[in-house]
A = this chain, B = another copy of it.
Amino acid sequence: MRRSSEDTKSAILAAARERFGADGYEKATIRAIAGDVGVDPAMVMRYFGNKEKLFAAAAHFDLRFPDLASTPREQVGTAMVGHFLDLWETSEALQVLLRTGVTNEAAAERMREIFATQLGPLAARLCPDPATAPTRAGLAASQILGLALTRYVLRLPPVMAMTREEVVAWLGPTLQRYLTE
Protein backbone atom coordinates (compact mmCIF):
# COMPACT_ATOMS: atom_id res chain seq x y z
CA MET A 1 0.00 0.00 0.00
CA ARG A 2 1.18 3.46 -0.80
CA ARG A 3 0.74 6.49 1.40
CA SER A 4 1.09 10.16 0.81
CA SER A 5 4.24 11.80 2.02
CA GLU A 6 2.39 13.87 4.57
CA ASP A 7 0.59 10.88 6.01
CA THR A 8 3.82 9.03 6.62
CA LYS A 9 5.51 12.07 8.03
CA SER A 10 2.81 12.72 10.58
CA ALA A 11 2.57 9.03 11.45
CA ILE A 12 6.28 9.02 12.20
CA LEU A 13 5.88 12.15 14.29
CA ALA A 14 3.09 10.58 16.31
CA ALA A 15 5.09 7.42 16.93
CA ALA A 16 8.12 9.50 17.87
CA ARG A 17 6.12 11.43 20.46
CA GLU A 18 4.89 8.19 21.97
CA ARG A 19 8.35 6.64 22.15
CA PHE A 20 10.11 9.74 23.42
CA GLY A 21 7.37 10.19 26.00
CA ALA A 22 7.51 6.60 27.16
CA ASP A 23 11.23 5.83 27.00
CA GLY A 24 13.18 9.09 27.05
CA TYR A 25 15.62 10.30 24.44
CA GLU A 26 18.30 7.61 24.49
CA LYS A 27 16.10 4.56 24.83
CA ALA A 28 13.73 5.70 22.08
CA THR A 29 15.41 4.39 18.94
CA ILE A 30 14.76 5.42 15.37
CA ARG A 31 14.45 1.77 14.48
CA ALA A 32 11.69 1.28 17.05
CA ILE A 33 9.82 4.38 15.94
CA ALA A 34 10.02 3.28 12.31
CA GLY A 35 8.89 -0.18 13.37
CA ASP A 36 5.80 1.25 15.07
CA VAL A 37 4.79 2.96 11.85
CA GLY A 38 5.64 -0.13 9.78
CA VAL A 39 8.23 1.68 7.74
CA ASP A 40 11.96 1.52 7.10
CA PRO A 41 14.27 3.54 9.41
CA ALA A 42 15.66 5.22 6.31
CA MET A 43 12.28 6.92 5.87
CA VAL A 44 12.74 8.69 9.17
CA MET A 45 16.08 10.02 8.00
CA ARG A 46 14.65 11.09 4.69
CA TYR A 47 11.90 13.12 6.29
CA PHE A 48 13.62 14.48 9.40
CA GLY A 49 17.34 14.46 8.68
CA ASN A 50 18.59 12.96 11.92
CA LYS A 51 17.46 11.92 15.38
CA GLU A 52 18.00 15.30 16.98
CA LYS A 53 15.87 17.03 14.37
CA LEU A 54 13.20 14.38 14.73
CA PHE A 55 13.15 15.05 18.43
CA ALA A 56 12.99 18.79 17.86
CA ALA A 57 10.02 18.27 15.57
CA ALA A 58 8.34 15.96 18.08
CA ALA A 59 8.92 18.41 20.93
CA HIS A 60 7.76 21.43 18.98
CA PHE A 61 4.23 22.52 19.68
CA ASP A 62 2.71 25.67 20.94
CA LEU A 63 1.99 24.84 24.51
CA ARG A 64 -0.34 27.64 25.35
CA PHE A 65 -1.23 27.83 28.97
CA PRO A 66 -4.84 28.75 29.52
CA ASP A 67 -5.51 32.43 29.65
CA LEU A 68 -6.62 33.02 33.18
CA ALA A 69 -7.48 36.67 32.70
CA SER A 70 -11.18 36.00 32.93
CA THR A 71 -11.17 33.86 36.06
CA PRO A 72 -11.70 35.56 39.41
CA ARG A 73 -8.46 36.29 41.18
CA GLU A 74 -9.37 34.09 44.18
CA GLN A 75 -9.90 31.03 42.02
CA VAL A 76 -6.81 31.27 39.88
CA GLY A 77 -5.06 28.48 41.80
CA THR A 78 -7.73 25.85 41.37
CA ALA A 79 -8.38 26.90 37.77
CA MET A 80 -4.73 26.48 36.95
CA VAL A 81 -4.46 22.99 38.43
CA GLY A 82 -7.53 21.92 36.47
CA HIS A 83 -6.21 23.26 33.20
CA PHE A 84 -2.87 21.59 33.77
CA LEU A 85 -4.42 18.22 34.41
CA ASP A 86 -6.26 18.64 31.12
CA LEU A 87 -3.03 19.45 29.34
CA TRP A 88 -1.27 16.39 30.72
CA GLU A 89 -4.02 14.01 29.86
CA THR A 90 -4.93 15.48 26.50
CA SER A 91 -1.58 15.71 24.78
CA GLU A 92 1.65 13.81 25.15
CA ALA A 93 3.64 16.98 24.68
CA LEU A 94 4.46 17.72 28.30
CA GLN A 95 5.09 14.07 29.02
CA VAL A 96 7.72 14.06 26.27
CA LEU A 97 9.46 17.10 27.67
CA LEU A 98 9.46 15.83 31.24
CA ARG A 99 10.79 12.38 30.37
CA THR A 100 13.48 13.66 28.05
CA GLY A 101 14.33 16.86 29.91
CA VAL A 102 15.96 14.87 32.67
CA THR A 103 18.74 13.49 30.46
CA ASN A 104 18.59 15.66 27.33
CA GLU A 105 19.86 19.21 27.62
CA ALA A 106 17.92 20.47 24.60
CA ALA A 107 14.68 19.31 26.16
CA ALA A 108 15.59 20.89 29.48
CA GLU A 109 16.26 24.16 27.72
CA ARG A 110 12.92 23.95 25.97
CA MET A 111 11.22 23.35 29.29
CA ARG A 112 12.93 26.40 30.80
CA GLU A 113 11.90 28.48 27.85
CA ILE A 114 8.28 27.38 28.06
CA PHE A 115 8.01 28.13 31.73
CA ALA A 116 9.76 31.45 31.36
CA THR A 117 7.57 32.69 28.53
CA GLN A 118 4.27 31.23 29.69
CA LEU A 119 4.24 31.04 33.46
CA GLY A 120 6.41 34.11 34.03
CA PRO A 121 4.08 36.75 32.57
CA LEU A 122 1.10 35.08 34.20
CA ALA A 123 2.75 35.36 37.59
CA ALA A 124 3.79 38.93 36.85
CA ARG A 125 0.20 39.90 36.19
CA LEU A 126 -1.16 38.15 39.27
CA CYS A 127 1.27 38.64 42.10
CA PRO A 128 1.34 41.64 44.37
CA ASP A 129 5.03 42.55 44.12
CA PRO A 130 6.35 42.33 40.54
CA ALA A 131 9.89 41.77 41.82
CA THR A 132 8.89 38.41 43.24
CA ALA A 133 7.13 37.24 40.08
CA PRO A 134 9.89 34.96 38.73
CA THR A 135 10.28 33.26 42.09
CA ARG A 136 6.54 32.72 42.31
CA ALA A 137 6.40 31.29 38.81
CA GLY A 138 9.24 28.93 39.72
CA LEU A 139 7.43 27.78 42.85
CA ALA A 140 4.28 27.10 40.88
CA ALA A 141 6.33 25.15 38.34
CA SER A 142 7.88 23.07 41.10
CA GLN A 143 4.51 21.98 42.43
CA ILE A 144 2.95 21.39 39.03
CA LEU A 145 5.89 19.42 37.68
CA GLY A 146 6.24 17.56 40.96
CA LEU A 147 2.66 16.40 40.63
CA ALA A 148 3.26 15.31 37.03
CA LEU A 149 6.42 13.50 38.03
CA THR A 150 4.89 11.55 40.88
CA ARG A 151 1.55 10.91 39.15
CA TYR A 152 2.51 10.10 35.57
CA VAL A 153 6.20 9.17 35.60
CA LEU A 154 7.18 7.66 38.95
CA ARG A 155 3.57 6.60 39.49
CA LEU A 156 3.52 6.77 43.26
CA PRO A 157 0.35 4.83 44.11
CA PRO A 158 -1.31 7.36 46.43
CA VAL A 159 -0.74 10.16 43.92
CA MET A 160 -2.11 8.04 41.10
CA ALA A 161 -5.12 7.12 43.17
CA MET A 162 -6.27 10.68 43.75
CA THR A 163 -9.24 11.82 41.72
CA ARG A 164 -9.08 14.93 39.64
CA GLU A 165 -11.20 16.75 42.20
CA GLU A 166 -8.93 15.78 45.06
CA VAL A 167 -5.88 17.00 43.20
CA VAL A 168 -7.55 20.31 42.48
CA ALA A 169 -8.69 20.67 46.07
CA TRP A 170 -5.24 20.00 47.49
CA LEU A 171 -2.99 21.80 44.99
CA GLY A 172 -5.29 24.72 44.24
CA PRO A 173 -4.63 26.58 47.50
CA THR A 174 -0.90 25.93 47.19
CA LEU A 175 -0.73 27.56 43.77
CA GLN A 176 -3.03 30.30 44.93
CA ARG A 177 -0.61 31.14 47.72
CA TYR A 178 2.50 30.88 45.53
CA LEU A 179 1.02 33.17 42.90
CA THR A 180 -1.00 35.76 44.79
CA GLU A 181 -0.16 35.94 48.49
Neighbouring B residues of A153 by C-beta, 8 Å = 101-102, 108
B-contact 0/1 string along A118-144, CB 8 Å cutoff: 000000000000000011011101111
A156 to chain B, nearest CB (A): 5
Contact A143 B103 (CB under 8 A): no
A149 to chain B, nearest CB (A): 6
Q: Given the known A-B contacts A146-B143, A173-B177, are A24 and B102 also in contact in the complex, defined by CB atoms under 8 Å?
A: yes
CA distance A99 to B134 in the complex (A): 25
Say yes or no: is A154 at the interface (Cβ < 8 Å to chain B): yes
Q: Closest residue to A107 on the B side, CB-wise?
A: B154
CA distance A173 to B99 in the complex (A): 29
Say yes or no: is A157 at the interface (Cβ < 8 Å to chain B): yes
Contact A99 B103 (CB under 8 A): yes
Contact B112 A155 (CB under 8 A): yes
Contact A161 B135 (CB under 8 A): yes
